[in-house]
Structure 1
Amino acid sequence: MTQGKSLPDLADVRKEIDQIDQQLHQLINQRAKCAQQVAQVKVAEDGKDAVFYRPEREAQVLRAVMERNQGPLSNEEIARLFREIMSACLALERPIKVAYLGPEGTFTQQATLKHFGHSAISVPFAAIDEVFREVEAGAVDYGVVPIENSTEGVISHTLDSFMDSGLQISGEVVLRIHQHLLLGENTRPDKISTIYSHTSSLAQCRKWLDAHYPGAERVAMPSNAEAARKVKSEWHSAAIAGDMAADLYGLKRLAENIEDTPDNSTRFLIIGRETVPASGDDKTSLMISMRNLPGALHQILEPFNKHKIDLTRIESRPSRSGAWNYVFFVDFNGHIDEARVQPVLKEVGENAADMKVLGSYPQGVL
């Protein structure tokens, strides 16, 4: 029998961990002191107009963290750790206040914490247009709203809110959506007669529900968190919701990951009042109103093809200016300040009845 390599002494390994923890502690506090110095400089230079949260800077830092990572922690895991450190340091400069589509326990809250970290002050609102209004009024610094789901498509309420808003998109975050069937303590699994959830969540789990609970009534709720709250004290009912709602309302997970599509994800937008400088890997969103003429869609798309700009999404919504007129929402890779993008904006603007830049912002890192 060949003798293998001897294992290290457990006490020695623990001693090394303690030493590393002490070094990490010192370095984190050192970083926090630097953040306080940054705040002092910003206040001295800009006074009450000082901007503490810089989306492009945070994206650059997180990209650098992932690029230099050598494991064994994954790139995403190490970036999450740094996100929380950055969030805590930013709170020392000035706590950031963020509105999100609530109530507590929604996937939008989960996306908010993923993007801003747990040191941000997150405030729930009942509707997407309320989130827009709070940001516009300056009551909060930023808002987080869903824009599209990989299974169910675009969130029309968010697109419609941009038609009347002067806000800018300052970031995006993509969240992997896991749906669970949740029960309160009063319900037995074999007695479920009603299943509550948001319309989109019910749609994302349609095949699973058909196979496992074909006779149960499916009732749409304003949010999956509301569904979870309802079944906490109700008999013979279940909710479809995510981890945050399950933990918040103390529900049992009868079945996990019941979504029909394995890669089910939702993209969320960060909305704010300021434009965002280029970060080096950016995306731009436009809202384009076209004249009701033949070839209108071609006039939108051709400049992107001509100048080799990668379109990532195009959606249409009925215009409020007249019947059968449409507004197009377009996303493409690039920042409006890039020289290669300028000719595209010029040509699209010349052909459109109106063109509005909704924002250039860092592509989602996490």
Structure 2
Amino acid sequence: MPEPTAPVAPHPANTIAFQGRPGAYSHLACHQAFPDMVALPCHSFEDAFGAVREGTARLAMIPVDNTVAGRVADVHHLLPRGGLHIVAEHFVRVNHHLLGLPGSSIDRLRSAESHVHAIGQCRQFLRRHQLQALVVADTAGAAQDVATAGDPTRAAIASQLAGELYGLVSLASNIEDAEHNTTRFLVLAREPEDPGPATDPVMTTFTFTVKNRPAALYKALGGFATNGVNMVKLESYIDGTFSQAQFYADIMGHPSHDGVHLALEELGFFSHSVEILGVYPAHPFRQQIG
């Protein structure tokens, strides 16, 4: 009888890393954006960054913002020092499912467990059905725990993908309170992949630290207004001395476009440093909401 063969590890060039357990929304984003790639679950965001830096994966799918929960904690601090480059963006409409054991029903349930953000995004549904909300580490983990426990009175709030992976059924779909619940993801790689100035529309993401002078931020950003550059995001991060802030920004346009070039030049004059994290095509979702 032949010896069983060991499973073949996925080739790094065809692997995309994400944070979380199989079935997480980051896993779903990998499937949507890169259906032919193997998704690699990682314990933390740092591990997902590390998988790309060390060559275990070619790409990483990292969430940065949600229309309900806001920015994803820690990710914006990792981006400037993570050693990776943004090469794409992807948007996922978050459709929460109430997942239970086969044969169970909403009437039999006593509790629903999930990540704190997912619980918060489904408050009205949970209140309407008088379900006790239990906070756990992540949505996919909640689905796995419910499947393992085998208790028909327990349910998880997670993605449909998580239900499929762990053998659960959807007892209710689209149970989130807000119809606009959407998460933005960034795709990271070791090397930049500049799409070129002819790409339209294109995004440029960068960080900068303004000089500690009165009106420095106002003057630093003035070039974007006078040169007609659309800044779609601006966030600040205070330093350890509370004396100056680092800023993260997303703009529409390529650094070689005349207006963007002039705006970045003016920004540099009033800043200690400007670091471009990525130049990449804008996702079609932006045109839908524009």
Once the two structures are TM-superposed, the CA of residue 353 in structure 1 deviates from its matched residue by 2.2
Q: What secondary structure sits across from 1:353 in the alignment?
A: strand
Per-residue deviation, 1:255 = 1.4
Among candidates 256, 264, 268, match of residue 337 of structure 1? 256
Worse-matched range after superposition: 293-302 or 152-161: 293-302
Kept in 2, the 8 Å contact 1:288–1:329? The answer is yes
Letter in 2 for 1:183: G
Please point out which of 143, 160, 164 is paired with 1:228.
143
Aligned to 1:122: 39
Judged with a 3 Å threshold, the aligned counterparts in structure 2 of structure 1 residues 95 and 137 are, in CA distance, closer, same or farther, namely closer
The residue aligned with 1:8 is none
The residue identity in structure 2 corresponding to 1:109 is: H
Displacement of 1:238 in angstroms is: 1.3
Q: Which residue of 1 aligns with 2:86?
A: 169
Whether the aligned pair in 2 keeps the contact of 1:98 and 1:141 (CA below 8 Å) is yes
Superposition map of 1:63-78 within 5 A: none
Q: Which has the higher strand share?
A: 2
The aligned amino acid for 2:165 is L
Q: How does 1:35-54 map to 2 (within 5 A)?
A: none
Structure holding more helix per residue = 1
Aligned mates of 1:152, 1:165 — CA distance in 2: 23
CA distance in 2 between partners of 1:318 and 1:184 (Å): 46
- Residue type of the partner of 1:169? I
Whichever residue aligns with residue 312 of structure 1, its letter is V
- Any conservation in 2 of the 1:147–1:268 contact (CA below 8 Å)? yes
| Bigger Rg over Cα | 1
**What is residue 23 of structure 2 aligned with on the other side?**
105
Unaligned runs of 5+ in 1: 1-90
Give me the whole-angstrom Cα distance separating, in 2, the residues matched to 1:111 and 1:305.
34
For the 8 Å contact 2:105–2:171, the answer to whether it is kept is no
| Contact 1:186-1:233 within 8 A present in 2 as well | no
1:302 aligns with 2:219: no
CA–CA distance in 2 between the matches of 1:300 and 1:196?
Answer: 46
**Offset at residue 324 of structure 1 (A):** 5.1
The answer to whether the 8 Å contact 1:95/1:121 transfers is no
Structure 2 counterpart of 1:312, from 218, 232, 240: 232
Q: How far apart are the structure 1 equivalents of 2:269 and 2:217?
A: 14
Q: Which amino acid aligns with 1:225?
A: A
Q: 1:344 to 1:262 in 2, by over 3 A?
A: same
Give the 3-state SS of the residue equivalent to 1:232 in structure 2: helix
Offset at residue 188 of structure 1 (A): 5.3
Give the counterpart of 1:287 among 179, 187, 207: 207
Structure 2 residue corresponding to 1:152, chosen from 69, 73, 80: 69
Structure 1 counterpart of 2:225, one-letter code: N
> Which residues of structure 2 form unaligned runs of 5+?
1-9, 286-290
Residues 73-121 of structure 1 show CA distances to partners (whole Å, capped at 9, x for unaligned) of xxxxxxxxxxxxxxxxxx9xx952211122111111111121122x212
Counterpart-to-counterpart distance in 2, 1:229 and 1:329: 36
TM-score w.r.t. structure 2 length? 0.86
Match of residue 242, structure 2, among 319, 323, 326: 323
- Report percent identity of matched pairs: 28
CA positional deviation for 1:182? 1.2
In the alignment, the residues of structure 2 paired with residue 101 and residue 357 of structure 1 have an alpha-carbon distance, to the nearest angstrom, of 24
Asked if 2 retains the 8 angstrom alpha-carbon contact of 1:185 and 1:232, the reply is no
Higher relative contact order (CA 8 A, sep 6+): 2
Is the CA contact 1:185–1:233 (under 8 Å) kept in the aligned structure 2? no
Give the drift of 1:185.
Answer: 4.3
Measure the CA separation in 2 of the matches of 1:143 and 1:245: 20
CA–CA distance in structure 2, aligned partners of residues 325 and 190 of structure 1: 55
How many residue pairs were aligned? 270
